[in-house]
Amino acid sequence: MSAGGLRVWVAAKARRLLALSLGAGLALTQAMPAARAFPVGYGPVSPGTDWIVMDVNTGAILSQNNPYTERFPASLTKLMTLDLAFHALRAGTLSPDTAIPVTAAAADVQPVKLNLVLGQTITVRQAMLGMTTLSANDAATALGQYLGGGSISRAAAAMTAKAHALGMLHTQFYNPSGLPNPGQVTDAYDMAILARHILLTYPQYRYLFSVSSFMFEGRPIPNIDGMLKLYPGCIGMKTGFTNLARFNLVTAAVRDGHMLVGVELHARNWSTAYATMTTLLNQGFAAEGAGSNPMIALRKALPSIVPTADAATIRPAAARTVARTAPVAARRVLVTASRHKLTIRHIVMRTGHVTQEMVPGWTAQIGAYDTYALAQRQALKIRSERRVGTARVSSVLIRHRRLWRAQLAGLNEAAAHATCSLLARQHQSCFLIAPRQEDLAMR
């Protein structure tokens, strides 16, 4: 077979894998709790830690705290990449020994990595182990790209379609690794659905999450999930971290015939995340043993967990202003309307202080107001209308006068321009603030 013919054959086979991955059965979806309405104003970097504990066998929710708050998944994204691979393996269209080519996209991806190089091949088994132990982004990118017929965007589309088919209505994927993307979001409830689906549908692959280490190219690759060593009966599943996602954790465990899965998003640090997950699982298993009404039992026990702020509440962080030694330059785009056309001007804006949580992506500043309440109302209104981004309020002191700025943050460039163009046509002011390069680590 010629090189060209081989490429065509590989692409066709990969497309078959992608199509089959979307055909997973939806029987589990019917057992899930009823769909919920999404509150307006929840944002990925809102204060607080969100969590949920679910009985894997019944789908019953044993405890929860803001489980529908939109968050950045970080490496929890890899669970969906693995789900597509598991389905292809079960269907027989992929085998553990299938050779996966390492593309430039996979080789060049940000750490954490197996340090794969362009042109190298790894097996599906190696890629999956690299993802479940070290959370390797190059392994996830290579496997996802292969499942997407050579396209990361097609893989992400398949992941999102599968998520929505499972009932993960608040989840959107843009890459197979979980590296930062402003539109890549999920919530604790959705991640619990995914974890439960994987545990029930593919029990033969549970061992991948519990492996303490594996050998790759002559060196041991450790499992970085601390819960495996800390919690008896732990199956593990996934850790995730970026600077903005903070510390994310999905943990499954078995005790006395009961299997629970806990999801924790936006924790302060690993120590806090592991301690909270341990408490949640212990209380979950205690409630399971108690029988009839686990939610009541848990409400009595949960004060031992530090309460967190309601993530729906958007507050200016004036008390936590971060003073920078040197101003940071950003690009601001002013969109104005006339009777005949829209005009876009680019202006350099210098910011010496940051008075709100940083959100990746573009920000549309949609008005300045004399009171926080007015700014918040406008931010929530536009967020409700546009259904994209994060409603946010920041403050600025101009000539001894405090103004509150309504903003829609975490947008991609197209959504940002569309937002300001829409407001300009309605004769409302709108400024676009371009993203700066974030120093983001990923694990």
Cα dist from 184 to 70, 75, 173, 305, 374, whole Å? 10, 11, 5, 29, 29
If residue 405 lies in a helix (H) or strand (E), which one and from where to where? Answer: strand 401-411
Select from 93, 99, 97, 98 the least CA-distant residue to 116.
99
Cα dist from 225 to 1, 4, 154, 221, 258, whole Å? 44, 43, 29, 12, 21
How many Cβ atoms are within 10 Å of 283's Cβ, its own excluded?
21
Structure tokens given for 319: 């008390």
Give exposure, 183-222, as e/b (b: 16+ Cβ within 10 Å): bbbbbbbbbbbbbbbbbebbeebbebbebeebebeeeebe
Q: Which residue has the tokens 């894998």?
A: 17
Select from 50, 66, 362, 73 the least CA-distant residue to 245.
73
135 counts as catalytic: yes
| Residue in 46, 63, 135, 151 annotated catalytic | 135
Q: State yes or no: 229 annotated in a binding site.
A: no
173/189 Cα distance (integer angstroms)? 16
- Whether 142 and 115 have beta carbons less than 8 Å apart is answered as no
78 counts as catalytic: yes
- Whether 189 and 70 have beta carbons less than 8 Å apart is answered as no
**Cis ω for the linkage preceding 112 (within 30 of 0):** yes
- What residues have CB less than 8 Å from 164, skipping those under 6 apart? 171
162/175 Cα distance (integer angstroms)? 14
Structure tokens given for 173: 């994927």
How many Cβ atoms are within 10 Å of 78's Cβ, its own excluded?
28
Select from 328, 246, 259, 280 the least CA-distant residue to 74.
246
| Residue in 21, 78, 113, 162 annotated catalytic | 78
Which residues does the annotation place in the binding site?
A: 238
Catalytic (active-site) positions:
75, 78, 135
Which residues does the annotation place in the binding site for substrate?
A: 238
